[in-house]
A and B are shown apart, each in its own frame.
Chain A
């Protein structure tokens, strides 16, 4: 057990898997000599060589397609998109080939796609997005969005073990900001099991990724007002832990769904609809959503701040719910 950043936890988890299983290899842009744009694979090429840490041409479809082909031949590829935003260049491959191959042809595609995602430092429209909802909509794909260093490692191991294409959204704003104890040994954090980040009685915040910490900060601020907030960290958006969400809603009777992705069509809508269908009679207030507005991610810091849900937005939302 040692304190590690979210980024170190991912890096350690990946290195551990590569040491124990020579089917695991890394492919992506600048992942080798440079160690990855965020240095997740720093030192990997020295340890594992250029054929297990593959510097690919700047071609996302080639990277993802090659990962799929290699996985069908028995390898366990971990592909890196330099930024989650660039997965749009590989959308066709993931959605058309990787997601559907098991269903229609019986061929599993056990690949992991690492996706540095999220905003908070003026990355602008093309280096800040959170596209998990788009992929959660596609049957056959799994979407993982860890919030803590411990989960980041355990879910990465789970993703590599999983026999399906798994999109691993690692939030860039957590990379070096969040530190916590991470077990040294290998462990698997199961997908589809939410985590109660904070216990509370008055209302539930359902969220994932970096918004877990935004919610936590808001909850702390509201302690003095006597509002007890429960935070449920979904950990994985597909599959998502419906039971844990409904259980928390039944306990508190009020719910705020919070995410950093755009509002319309964001995964929060699915969660809200499910709560309305299955826990309507347990609710004491309408389900509330806080999400980014329906614009591209803006560049200027003041605009980006207006775009990404802030602690004060969540405090305000929780107050409204508490007072309902």
Chain B
């Protein structure tokens, strides 16, 4: 079970074999634009002083996030991180709620209790991340464990960055999942920089996916800027897990195209590296592919862009109207009540 490096995706027929029709492809393109659009507007909100605390984006990771989320079935669950806005978008979180979350408003998924991308919509099968990465990997494994106990054909997807793969949680989660061959797929967003720490100071193997071997499952390295390759590999891994084949570790290689957070100008990343990876922008790359392989017309492109622009502008207005949380409610919800368990999952 040596690590495998995934091939790029070629023709439309190959994509069709992987289960995507033209409408799906345009949907992916739209989700990529929404993802980047949300984060670009986030920058503006931040500069306007409307976002308290810090602000994090996943620029360069849009293809990786949207690709994986597109491969998940509606009943599958996941624990996306702060570079994975595309997962929330693909799962259907309304953009206005994301802007409200950024601004700490009542309408955000955490109602101002937590900030930036520490959010998820449980109704859409997502579980909100914490800062202590990769603390959500064992949680994803637990979701998979429940599917295995109940013999449900569902899959959990757990995310980590390459930096957090140095922590023990990653080892404990992957080891347990491997031992029990649980239906979980581990995604490692390898964007080459853990804050200012480069990969060679984070791990000593050539690929992080090499580690999968030690846990008894397959590791695959994928170009994370190739949304279709990410989709194909994620789909294969998810369906393998669903059918009892156990976990897979997918290492999605990208470059973090901005600083760790908005305050960080990433001076430590060589300029040439940015220039090199800018040629492989996931959105540009996919747009070109759509033109060459799926007859994307200029009219279609403009129409999709215009719709996304309107969606996001409307979302911004709606978010700005969302009230501040009421300090009188601060003490609420520290402890759950039995009524809180009245969810589809807990029945």
A interface residues with partner B (beta carbon < 8 Å) = 25, 27, 51-52, 54, 56-57, 59, 61-62, 64-75, 77, 92-93, 96-97, 100-110, 139-140, 142, 161, 163-164
The listed residue (A96, A97, A104, A108) touching B340 by CB distance below 8 A is A108
Do B347 and A105 touch (CB < 8 A)? no
Give 25 pairs: A residue, B residue, CB < 8 Å, sorted on A. A25-B149, A51-B148, A54-B145, A56-B176, A62-B172, A65-B141, A67-B142, A70-B146, A72-B345, A92-B132, A96-B131, A96-B132, A97-B135, A97-B136, A102-B333, A102-B334, A102-B340, A105-B119, A105-B127, A105-B128, A110-B336, A110-B346, A140-B335, A163-B336, A164-B335
Q: A59-B172, A139-B334 are in contact. Are A69 and B113 (CB under 8 A)?
A: no
A93 with B175: CB separation less than 8 A: no
* Binary interface encoding of chain B residues 130-171 relative to chain A, with 1 for a CB under 8 A from any of its CBs, else 0: 111001111111111111110000001000000000001100
Kindly list chain A residues whose C-beta atoms are within 8 Å of the C-beta of B341. Answer: 108, 110, 163
How far does the Cβ of A119 sit from chain B's closest Cβ, in whole Å?
28
In the docked arrangement, what's the CA distance between A65 and B175, Å?
13
Q: Is B122 an interface residue (CB 8 A)?
A: yes
A200→B347 CA distance, assembly (Å):
47
> Residue A163 contacts which of B168, B334, B338 (CB distance < 8 angstroms)?
B338
On chain A, the residues within 8 Å of B111 by CB distance are 106
Which residues of B are found within 8 Å of A54, using beta-carbon distances? 145
- Is there contact, CB below 8 Å, between B135 and A96? yes
Q: Mark B319-347, 1 if CB is under 8 A from A, else 0.
A: 00000000000000111111011000111
Give complex CA distance A139, B132 in Å.
Answer: 18
B147 to chain A, nearest CB (A): 7
Which of A25, A69, A101, A110 is the one whose CB lies under 8 Å from B144? Answer: A69
Q: Is the CB of B139 within 8 A of A97?
A: yes
In the bound complex, residues from chain A placing their C-beta under 8 Å from that of B132 are: 92, 96-97
B110 interface contact, C-beta 8 A: yes
- CB pair B128–A73 under 8 Å, yes or no, is no
**B139 and chain A: residue at smallest CB distance:** A69
The CB with the most chain A CB atoms within 10 A, among B128, B142, B175, B333, is that of B142
**A61 CB to nearest chain B CB (Å):** 5
Q: A69-B156, A74-B346, A103-B113 are in contact. List 7 more A-B contacts (CB 8 A).
A: A65-B135, A65-B141, A66-B139, A69-B144, A69-B145, A73-B142, A75-B146
Determine the chain B residues whose CB is within 8 A of the CB of A62 once the complex forms. 138, 141, 172-173, 175-176
Whether A105 lies near B122 (C-beta < 8 A) is yes
Cα distance, A291 to B161, chains bound together (Å)? 45
CA distance A110 to B342 in the complex (A): 12
- B141: chain A residues at CB < 8 Å are 62, 65-66, 69
Q: Which residues of B contact A67 (CB under 8 A)?
A: 142
Contact with A along B173-188 (1 / 0, CB 8 A): 1011001000000000
State A108–B131 Cα separation when bound (angstroms).
Answer: 19
Give the distance to chain A from B283, nearest Cβ to Cβ, in Å. 29
The 8 Å CB contact of A61, one of B77, B138, B148, B335, is: B138
